[in-house]
Chain A
């Protein structure tokens, strides 16, 4: 007797499920994306640099001079580290959204790769690692800018760089899981409009969520960027607390779950 009735179709699907089979071949997929990036970096480099730079100038230094926070913190200290979080979310999400979709669909690159000894799971893994790599590059540019503008108060901020790999994996895996079920490149717009953009503005990066109705904070707690913002901000201020371990755990768990979902969805998409 089972407590929960699982629909027949779902049970059949789950019955055939096997754990991810991943070897170092996943890195061949990463290398392929790197080769492409090194060919086209001139056009790829401009957005991840100009967009955060303009935002930092406009909000951090411009608007920020009119902002007085309850905590007495300078606005650039508040928004700077948070921008590292939300912009690197954008980079990872875009790479495993539009980027992966193009490779999967119009270029047929994934089909070409899985015709070789590289498996679907390794393609998914390589794509996620590549998305995380792109997001680390973003973290680096923005960290330099924020530091120059005086938004970093503690050398502890250097920890952001290695730690950023985990949120990078998380954002990439979530995005790739959606890409695997997207019907067309334009259906990615829904994902960006309903998930990425609200998260960008409303995850507490630009203003304390206590300013909004209470339910917003509750919703925000369930969004990935919220926790990343909190950790980066604490590290930049040199003031991490035990509660930030919860944020860290949240990110690790969601990253792992999103990765498994991405693997499963991508198998279903490519192996027919």
Chain B
């Protein structure tokens, strides 16, 4: 009885602490530190986003969770298990969708899925019925006997995600799931992922597409150069760093100096510059009257603030400083 209570307590503690827990996680390659002491936790049932520019350490983090890259330092636990101690058990509850399609080009759609079910030691009958289910869900049933070379990029991506779901994973790990897809294919993938999220599948996804993060993620962390520089709920981060509205000032061939001079007269007005565009983040109504610079710029765009503003603001200098 006490044992049972203890076990239950353990389960609920796990849920509170998170299904993935990283504490002071470090990954070094020789002298290069790819992941520099990051801590985060992913809760069961949520979609958690790992955002950052290229080379920030997103994929390295994902690879450590997938148990294919040894942890240099710190703690990394998946569903209570240490990735170094129980790689097989961890991999059994993960569904992995890699950044680059690594489907078998010489197998058909169905054969690809079948080979994958074997890696999980699934019983044949269960495997076959799950393959059918997944093919229907991802609208690939009619293409099941096609070889991979005749599929479009979007179909291959859907198949890669379908493959990741065959073992009914507790956590779906997606590394840039829509990179390189056209808008239609991207929206279809998003719709499928939202469907999975509503079914309670925990998702961890990396992306540098802010639209994607905003569409899918409950919580995000932003990584830059191996460190976490911000974390939270997308809306809250937008409010915190960008407010609600943005004025984009396209300078074109105009000189930036007089415009900046005018803007600087406004105390506490938040302005960021990337290449030939100025981003103005007015906090309050009447903070700034755009008419005053209208004559000195190419054009101005008024829009809602979004996650990309946050991202550029927090990581932009890192990119520009290279």
Task: Give chain A's interface residues, CB within 8 Å of chain B.
Answer: 25, 28, 31-32, 35-36, 39-40, 107-109, 111-119, 270-272
Contact across chains for A271 and B105 when beta carbons are under 8 A apart: no
Contact across chains for A272 and B98 when beta carbons are under 8 A apart: no
Question: Within the complex, what minimum Cβ distance (angstroms) separates A151 from chain B?
Answer: 35
Contact across chains for A271 and B98 when beta carbons are under 8 A apart: no
User: Quick one: closest A residue to B90, CB to CB?
Assistant: A117
Question: Within the complex, what minimum Cβ distance (angstroms) separates A123 from chain B?
Answer: 10
Contact across chains for A117 and B92 when beta carbons are under 8 A apart: yes
Contact across chains for B118 and A39 when beta carbons are under 8 A apart: no
- Max chain B CB contacts within 10 Å: which of A28, A112, A113, A271? A112
Contact across chains for B98 and A112 when beta carbons are under 8 A apart: yes
Contact across chains for B119 and A118 when beta carbons are under 8 A apart: yes
Contact across chains for A36 and B107 when beta carbons are under 8 A apart: yes
On chain B, the residues within 8 Å of A118 by CB distance are 119
Contact across chains for B119 and A25 when beta carbons are under 8 A apart: yes
User: Quick one: closest A residue to B163, CB to CB?
Assistant: A112
Question: Within the complex, what minimum Cβ distance (angstroms) separates A92 from chain B?
Answer: 20
Chain A interface mostly helix, strand, loop or mixed? helix
Contact across chains for A109 and B104 when beta carbons are under 8 A apart: yes
Contact across chains for B87 and A119 when beta carbons are under 8 A apart: yes
Q: Contacts A28-B118, A35-B107, A40-B106 given: A115-B100 contact, CB under 8 Å?
A: no
Q: Which chain B residues numbered 100 to 118 have a C-beta less than 8 Å away from chain A?
A: 100-108, 111, 114-116, 118
Question: Within the complex, what minimum Cβ distance (angstroms) separates A204 from chain B?
Answer: 37
On chain A, the residues within 8 Å of B167 by CB distance are 116
Task: Give chain B's interface residues, CB within 8 Å of chain A.
Answer: 29, 63, 66, 68-70, 87-88, 91-92, 94, 96, 98, 100-108, 111, 114-116, 118-121, 147, 167
User: Quick one: closest B residue to A113, CB to CB?
Assistant: B119
Give Cα distance in the complex from A32 to B94, angstroms: 21
22 A-B contacts, Cβ less than 8 Å apart? A28-B118, A31-B115, A32-B115, A35-B111, A36-B104, A39-B106, A39-B111, A40-B106, A107-B104, A108-B102, A113-B119, A114-B68, A116-B116, A116-B120, A117-B92, A117-B119, A117-B121, A118-B119, A270-B68, A272-B29, A272-B63, A272-B69
Contact across chains for A115 and B96 when beta carbons are under 8 A apart: yes
Give Cα distance in the complex from A270 to B100, angstroms: 16
On chain B, the residues within 8 Å of A25 by CB distance are 119, 121
On chain B, the residues within 8 Å of A119 by CB distance are 87-88
Question: Within the complex, what minimum Cβ distance (angstroms) separates A11 from chain B?
Answer: 17
On chain B, the residues within 8 Å of A111 by CB distance are 68, 98, 102
Q: Contacts A28-B119, A115-B91 given: A109-B102 contact, CB under 8 Å?
A: yes
In the A-B complex, list the 7 residue pairs whose CB atoms are closest, starting with the nearest: A108-B102, A116-B119, A115-B96, A112-B102, A28-B118, A32-B115, A36-B106
User: Quick one: closest B residue to A16, CB to CB?
Assistant: B70
Question: Within the complex, what minimum Cβ distance (angstroms) separates B119 from chain A?
Answer: 4
Q: Once A and B bind, how many residue pairs between them come within 8 Å at the CB atom?
A: 72
On chain B, the residues within 8 Å of A35 by CB distance are 107, 111, 114-115
Give Cα distance in the complex from A192 to B241, angstroms: 59
Give Cα distance in the complex from A213 to B96, angstroms: 58
Select B115's contact among A28, A117, A270, A271, beta carbons within 8 Å: A28
User: Quick one: closest A residue to B115, CB to CB?
Assistant: A32
Give Cα distance in the complex from A244 to B204, angstroms: 59
Question: Within the complex, what minimum Cβ distance (angstroms) separates B171 from chain A?
Answer: 13
Question: Within the complex, what minimum Cβ distance (angstroms) separates B61 from chain A?
Answer: 14
User: Quick one: closest B residue to A40, CB to CB?
Assistant: B106
User: Quick one: closest A residue to B66, CB to CB?
Assistant: A115
On chain A, the residues within 8 Å of B147 by CB distance are 39
Question: Within the complex, what minimum Cβ distance (angstroms) separates A17 from chain B?
Answer: 13
Question: Within the complex, what minimum Cβ distance (angstroms) separates A25 from chain B?
Answer: 7
Contact across chains for B91 and A39 when beta carbons are under 8 A apart: no
Question: Within the complex, what minimum Cβ distance (angstroms) separates B207 from chain A?
Answer: 19
- Max chain A CB contacts within 10 Å: which of B94, B118, B120? B118
Contact across chains for B100 and A108 when beta carbons are under 8 A apart: yes
Give Cα distance in the complex from A116 to B87, angstroms: 9
On chain B, the residues within 8 Å of A116 by CB distance are 91, 96, 116, 119-120, 167
User: Quick one: closest A residue to B106, CB to CB?
Assistant: A36
On chain B, the residues within 8 Å of A117 by CB distance are 88, 91-92, 119-121
Give Cα distance in the complex from A109 to B107, angstroms: 12
Give Cα distance in the complex from A40 to B100, angstroms: 24
Q: Contacts A35-B115, A117-B92, A271-B68 given: A108-B98 contact, CB under 8 Å?
A: yes
On chain B, the residues within 8 Å of A32 by CB distance are 104, 107, 115, 118
On chain A, the residues within 8 Å of B103 by CB distance are 112
User: Quick one: closest B residue to A115, CB to CB?
Assistant: B96
Contact across chains for A107 and B70 when beta carbons are under 8 A apart: no
Give Cα distance in the complex from A135 to B254, angstroms: 72
On chain A, the residues within 8 Å of B92 by CB distance are 117
Select B98's contact among A40, A107, A115, beta carbons within 8 Å: A115
Question: Within the complex, what minimum Cβ distance (angstroms) separates B69 from chain A?
Answer: 6
Question: Within the complex, what minimum Cβ distance (angstroms) separates A18 from chain B?
Answer: 12
On chain B, the residues within 8 Å of A31 by CB distance are 115, 118
Give Cα distance in the complex from A247 to B7, angstroms: 59
User: Quick one: closest A residue to B160, CB to CB?
Assistant: A112
